Each structure stands twice: as structure tokens, then as C-alpha cells.
Structure 1
Amino acid sequence: MSRQEKIVKTSIIGIVVNLILVAFKAFVGIATNSIAITLDAVNNLTDALSSIITIIGAKLAGKAPDKNHPYGYGRIEYFSSVIIAAIVLWAGITALMESWPKIFTPDVTNYTNVSLLIIAVAVVVKFVLGQYVKRVGEDINSQALVASGSDAFFDSILSLSTLIAAIISIFFNISLEGILGVIISIVIIKASIDMLRETLDSMIGARVDSVLSKKIKDSILEIPGIYGVYDLSLHNYGPEDMQGSIHVEIDDTLTALDIQKLSRHISAKIFKEFSIILTVGIYAHNDVHKDIRDDLYNIASQYPEILEIHGFIVYEDENLITFDIIVDFDADRESVKEKILSEIKTKHPEFNYLMIDDYDVSD
């Protein structure tokens, strides 16, 4: 079964289960005059609508690349997640507005054994559904399914709270419906904001996961003749479509044919292991003026703000040395770079230096 088919199948299961719960909870909520149970029913309805949007998003995202969209339509999944988050946020705000007055003017609720049984069944059903949907979402890297599963799991906890409140109402004649409704609405609002934040991070371009970055670099370093791996940059064109670039340091004596073969080998290896398309750039490695390179690295080691220096190369005919430097985002970057440049110039004034500003985007 393809990834799209799994999303559709899981979402359909969610739709069916949630619609059944909507019918049961709405009936019980109206019959018992319970605002909390009625709000739970509304929340289940938004869950069903979210599953429908997830299906539509998956179908659209699965369209093949075309002339106007050469990278495909994978990012549509992120837009569907934003829509889902907006729907959940609207439901939470509406619930809050309806529940708040109930704290001060509580309604009398009349729970029956049947209504309590239905709530208990709903707790179990939502727990099982949430675990199932979340597990599938994690397996296929679907943010929408993971969020939907987490929401369903938390719904089961909220329904359990409703059940406890009902039991307290029966035995102690204390109404907690308004308070519980406010709690439910706040939880829904928070969940929607978290979902929105995570999705927007993916759309804007979040930092490369450090674990994935290390695995990719370690995989490339397994290839003989690679001295170092730098400048990993990944771009997300959908949950299952990632492309990027990387630089590797190799001997400057290699021919163009050798470099092409090595680049193809690296790209094929990474695609096979991670399903990521990488463009490979080259840094030349030699031991010319190794003393200057060692001095530069020693100077840099005195500054904890400097995360890495790489790409060191000497152009004898131009009397020029160039290197890339990565300075921590939180540091006074310009000040640190000026100090490094000043110290290496003082130690080796016979060369000019070109410092290329690089960025810490992966580690």
C-alpha cells in the first residue's frame, strides 16, 4: 500500500469512527443538558472534517510534477495541515465562548446509566483510534495524521474527565460542566496553535534535524577519499520529498572524471539510504602551507563562538588564502570574524585572506 493510500485509509477510518461518536455524544449531551458532552460531540465533528481535508490534501499532493511545478505538489500537505489547525482553533474559541458563562450559571444535568456507558465507550474508542492514527502518521511521516492522532488521544483523556465530572455530579450534586468546558476549549486551542506552529516551521524552512544531518555526513565519510563533509543544506518540497546540497573535501589531484564518479557515488548512496536527492560540491584538499592552516585552526579553537572552519585553500599565483567560517548565531558574529582575520594576518602577513561567511543550518 502506497503512502497516499495509507493516509486515505486511515482518514476514512477516522471519519467513520468520529461520525459515530458525534451522533452518540450529541444525543447524550442534549438528553442530559450537558455542555461538556455536547462540546465533545462538536470536537468529534471537527475531527471528521479534518480527516476529509487530510484526504483531499494527500490526493492533491500526490499529483505528478509538471512544467509549472517541477518539484511536484508535496507542499500541499502542509496547507491542509494549516487548514486543519484553523478549524480546530475556531472550534476551541467557540467552545470557550459557550462554556465560560456556564461557570457562573450552571445548567442542571441528568445523567443516566446509558449516558455514562456511552461516555466510557467513547473514552476507549478515542484512545484506540488516537494511538492507531498517530502510529500510522509517524510511520509514513504525515504531520496531519500525527496531529489528528494526538488530538484523538487527548480527547479520550478529556472524555475521561467528563465521565469523572458526571460521577461527581451524581454523588455530590456539584456541577463542573462549565469549568470542564473551559478546560476542554483551552486544550483544543493549545493543540491547534502547536499544530500550526509545527506546520509553519516546515513551510518556512526549519533547521535540519541534527540526527539526520549526522547520519548523512557519517554515511558520506564511509566512502574512501573523503576528508570532510560540510555545508549540508536540505530543502523540503513535501513530507516525502527532500532535496539539498553538500560539500565534500577531496584530493586536489583528482581528475574531472574522478570527481564526477565520486559525486555520482555519493548522490546514489544518500538517495538509497535516505531518499534524499543531493547535489555535491567540492573542496580541494592539499597540504600546501599546512602550517598556516594549523595556525588558523588553533586560533579559532580559542573562540567557542566559532563552530567550524573548512574549505581552506591556498592560491599561490594570487597570493590568496580562502576559507569558510561558521559562527554561532547568538554570537557577535562580525566582531568574532574580525578578530580571527586580524590574528591570522598578524601571524602570516605574506598572504591576503578571504573569509567566506557560512551558516550553521544542520548541526
Structure 2
Amino acid sequence: MDTHQSAIRTAYFSIIGNAALALVKGVAGILGNSYALIADAIESTTDIFSSILVLLGLKYAKRPADDNHPYGHGKIEPLITFIVVAFLVTSATVIAYESIVHIQTPHKVPSSWTLYVLGAIILWKEASYQIVIRKSRETHSTSLKADAWHHRSDAITSIMAFLGISVALLFGEGYETADDWAALLASGFILYNSYRIFRPALSEIMDEHQYDDLVELIREKSMEVDGILGTEKCFVRKSGISYHVDLHAIVNGAISVKEGHDVSHRLKDHLQSQIANLDHVLIHIEPDEYDNG
């Protein structure tokens, strides 16, 4: 299975999981008198839509290059990530507002059985995070990474709800709003995670250099090609799950233009066969007596 297809299957996993959990949390929150669980359900509902956006973005990014998009469609991924972050910020704002309203409104202590529901949710969301973050690393997908952090932030809000309900049940009268305070605290975690997701996506859009390990690997693999004497400049930028490379390679200055052309093609083919997710590789040939001055 190629990396795009693997990423798409992971997005489907997120959609199904979030839909099921939103329903469970909403019902448990209403029946169990816990706004922290209802807040959790709100976030899971936004997660459904954000995961659908991630899926659509991954499918769009899979389109081959065309005349209008010679470098492919991969830049849609960080753009989708920005929208996912907007969903997160919106859900955090709604949760914070509703938490403050509930803190000011007298209500009953949540039912004790909601703790069992939350315990199961925490385990499931953390497992989901581990699955999706692993796939995001395997596929180098920015939007999948954002989706993974959705799962982690969901686990965090559930932990906060668990603690809040536990405090309310343990101390009883006067602590009915503990789970509301927990929901308010969880909204802060969501906002923090939003920044953690937003920053790498912004770096990708701005072509910020963050690929020292990949550059080192490219230089190492280049020296395996006959005729390559060394490398000079090497620039890498990311587009979706693919990387575009501009590499200056040093060859014998006495060879013909045709021989230099053949060496550059061998180098390009070798790099693409040895390093995953390299798409466009532009080789600039430099003669070994080339003077930088």
C-alpha cells in the first residue's frame, strides 16, 4: 500500500472513531449530568468534521501534477491543517464559554458511572492518538499529525473531566462545579495543542528549512553514484507527504555536457529509489574546479 492510501485509510479510522465517541459522550453527559462529558462530545463532533476535511485534503493531495500545478497538489495539506486548527480553537472557545456559564449555574453532582465511561474513552483516544501519529510519521503527513493531536486533546479533556467528576463525587456538596472547572481547564489545553499543530503547518507553507537529517541522507546517498565527487547546496521543501529537492552536485570538470547530463540523471534516479517520498529532484552540475568566488 502506498503512503497516500495508508494516510487515507487512517483518516477513515478517525472519522468512524470520532462519530462513535461523540454519540457515547453526548448520551452519557446528558444522562449522567456532566457538562465535562458534554464538552467532550462537542469536541468529538468538531473532530468528525475536521477528520472529514483531512480525508478530503489527502485525496486532493493525491492528484498528480498538471499544467496548473507542476509540483502537484500537496500544499493542500497544511491549508487543511489551518482549518483543523480553526475547528479546535472554535471548540475550545465554546467549551470555555459554556463552562463559565455552568459554573455560575447551580446543578447536581455528576453520576458516578460516568467515570467508567470516561475511563474507557481515555484509553481509546490515547490508543487512537498512537495509531494516527505513527501513520503521520510514516507518511510525513502534516494533516494526519493535526488529526492525531485531535485525538490527544480529546484524551486530555477526558482526563480533566475524570478528575473533575472525581472531585465532585469525593467532596460532595459545594463541589458540584468541579467538572465544569475541569472542562474550562481542558479548553486551555486544546488551545495550546492548536498552536503545536499550527506552527509546523505554517513552516511548511513558508518553506522553512527543517530537514537537516534528510539533507544529510541525500548527501550520503549521492556519494554512492559513480561520477559524483561531492555535493554543495542542498535545499529541501515539503509539499504534502512529498519532498522537493534542489541539489548542486560536483563532477569532473573535464567531462562532456552529455556525460554530466547522464550523471545527473543517474543521481536523480538513485535518490528517488533510495529515499522515500522524494518527488521532484533538480540536479545542478558543478565542475570540480568550480570557483565560488
Answer 1 or 2: higher relative contact order, Cα 8 Å, separation at least 6: 2
1:133–1:145 Cα contact (<8 Å) kept: yes
AA aligned opposite 2:261: Q
Give the deviation of 1:250 after TM superposition: 2.5
TM-score, L = length of structure 2 = 0.89
Give the whole-Å Cα distance in 2 for the aligned partners of 1:162 and 1:8.
31
AA aligned opposite 1:89: V
Distance 1:247 1:4, change over 3 A: closer
The aligned runs of 1:33-182 (5 Å cut-off) are 33-103=33-103, 105=105, 107-113=107-113, 115-173=114-172, 174=175, 175-182=177-184
CA offsets, 1:283-322, max 9 Å, x none? 2224xxxxxxxxxxxxxxxxxxxxxxxx52xxxxxxxxxx
Alignment partner, residue 4 of structure 1: 4
The structure whose residues are more often strand, as a share, is 1
2:96–2:187 Cα contact (<8 Å) kept: yes
Alignment partner, residue 188 of structure 2: 186
CA offsets, 1:161-186, max 9 Å, x none? 32232222112122412321221111
Distance 1:230 1:106, change over 3 A: farther
CA offsets, 1:103-152, max 9 Å, x none? 45564323132x22212211122122221122222222222222222331
Give the whole-Å Cα distance in 2 for the aligned partners of 1:159 and 1:187.
11
**Bigger mean CA deviation after superposition, 165-174 or 209-218:** 165-174
Distance 1:69 1:234, change over 3 A: same
RMSD between aligned alpha carbons? 2.1
Structure 1 residue matching 2:244: 3-state secondary structure: strand
Distance 1:259 1:272, change over 3 A: same
Alignment partner, residue 260 of structure 1: 261
Alignment partner, residue 281 of structure 2: 278
Distance 1:63 1:36, change over 3 A: same
1:103–1:177 Cα contact (<8 Å) kept: no
Distance 1:141 1:263, change over 3 A: same
The aligned runs of 1:268-307 (5 Å cut-off) are 268-274=269-275, 275-286=278-289
Distance 1:7 1:87, change over 3 A: same
Distance 1:237 1:171, change over 3 A: closer
Give the whole-Å Cα distance in 1 for the aligned partners of 2:60 and 2:253.
47
**Bigger mean CA deviation after superposition, 81-90 or 102-111:** 102-111
Q: Do residues 215 (structure 1) and 226 (structure 2) align?
A: no
Structure 1 unpaired stretches of 5+: 287-310, 313-322, 324-354, 356-363
Alignment partner, residue 204 of structure 1: 206
Distance 1:141 1:106, change over 3 A: farther
Give the whole-Å Cα distance in 2 for the aligned partners of 1:276 and 1:72.
9
Alignment partner, residue 18 of structure 1: 18
Give the whole-Å Cα distance in 2 for the aligned partners of 1:134 and 1:237.
18
1:231–1:247 Cα contact (<8 Å) kept: yes
Distance 1:229 1:59, change over 3 A: same
AA aligned opposite 1:46: T
AA aligned opposite 1:152: H
Alignment partner, residue 291 of structure 1: none
2:208–2:237 Cα contact (<8 Å) kept: no
AA aligned opposite 1:279: L
Distance 1:130 1:97, change over 3 A: same
State which structure, 1 or 2, has the greater radius of gyration over its C-alpha atoms.
1
2:215–2:235 Cα contact (<8 Å) kept: no
2:65–2:72 Cα contact (<8 Å) kept: yes
Give the whole-Å Cα distance in 2 for the aligned partners of 1:14 and 1:237.
23
AA aligned opposite 2:283: V
Give the whole-Å Cα distance in 2 for the aligned partners of 1:184 and 1:79.
26
2:15–2:51 Cα contact (<8 Å) kept: yes
Give the whole-Å Cα distance in 1 for the aligned partners of 2:188 and 2:156.
14
Structure 2 unpaired stretches of 5+: none
CA offsets, 1:60-91, max 9 Å, x none? 22223222222222222222111111111111
How many residues are treated as equivalent by the alignment? 288
